[in-house]
Amino acid sequence: MKIFLSCMTFVLLGSGLYSQAIASEARLPANVQLSWNYLNDFTGTMQVHRLKDDTKVSLWEMGVRDNVDSTPAGVEIAEGKLELMPGVINQLVLVMSNKTSETMYFHVPLHQPDPGVGYMGIHFMCLCFDGVVYIVPSGKTWFRVVEIRMDEERKGGDMTIFPHDVIALTEEQISKL
């Protein structure tokens, strides 16, 4: 019993020392990139935007509008690259404009961060959900509000890539789901 208590005390002290060491270090940003792989001859392009200034939206708010200007999307983020600061919630707007004469249907399966351990402490509330089919009518612009944040305790680090497969679907494929 004594050995168990000694080990327990050591672990608790170790945790406390570790927490204090983290608290005293400078909080560094983490670099992330949201990337898109288009499959099954998908014809659209996903854009990542900051939220317009003074715009209030809900996480996962989604809609279809006539153009990008009528969405909550502000400045486009080049190449989907962002810098996350510890504890800061970043609301973003994903945008897809359909410039074709046909309705676009697509699905986005769960993402796999690269490197796998690089995402620890980074939370991305995105658009990949099993069984969800997104629809963008011809000549319209689709948007979805997402969120990415980094835990207070996480140290900054190298680039972590959040790749997403965007899979084109046909009406026939959708009818079989």
pLDDT digit string, tens, across residues 93-135: 999 999 999 999 999 988 777 666 556 788 888 888 878 999 9
Tokens of 47: 């854009």
pLDDT digits (tens, 9 = 90+) for 125-166: 888 887 899 999 999 999 999 999 888 887 777 777 888 999
3-state SS, one letter per residue, for 102-155: CCEEEECCCCCCECHHHHCCEEEECCCCCCCCEEECCCCEEEEEEEEEECCCCC
Q: How high is the mean pLDDT of the chain? A: 82
Q: Is residue 55, in this structure, part of any structural domain at all?
A: yes
pLDDT in the model for residue 9: 28
The pLDDT, as a whole number, for residue 30 is 86
Span 64-90, mean pLDDT? Answer: 95
The reported pLDDT for the residue numbered 151 is 86
Q: How many domains, the chain?
A: 1
Query: Cβ–Cβ contacts within 10 Å for residue 127, how many?
Result: 20
pLDDT for position 64: 98
CA–CA separation, 130 and 170 (whole Å): 17
Q: Flag whether 22 is in a domain.
A: no
Task: With respect to residue 164, please indicate whether it lies within any of the assigned structural domains.
Answer: yes
Q: What is the pLDDT of residue 177?
A: 77
Tell whether 5 is covered by a domain: no
> What pLDDT shows up at residue 110?
84
Round to whole Å and give the CA distance between 36 and 45: 8
Look at residue 146 and tell me if it is in a domain: yes
pLDDT value, residue 123 = 85
Domain membership of residue 6 (yes or no) is no
pLDDT of residue 12: 31
**What confidence score (pLDDT) does residue 93 get?**
98
CATH code for position 109? 2.60.370
Residue 150 lies in a domain: yes
In angstroms, the CA 61 to CA 146 distance is: 8
Question: Would 102 be classed as within a structural domain?
Answer: yes
pLDDT confidence band for 3 (50 / 70 / 90): very low
Overall average pLDDT of the 14-32 stretch? 54
15 has pLDDT over 60: no
Query: What range does the domain containing 38 cover?
Result: 28-175
Closest CA to 34 of 168, 145, 124: 124
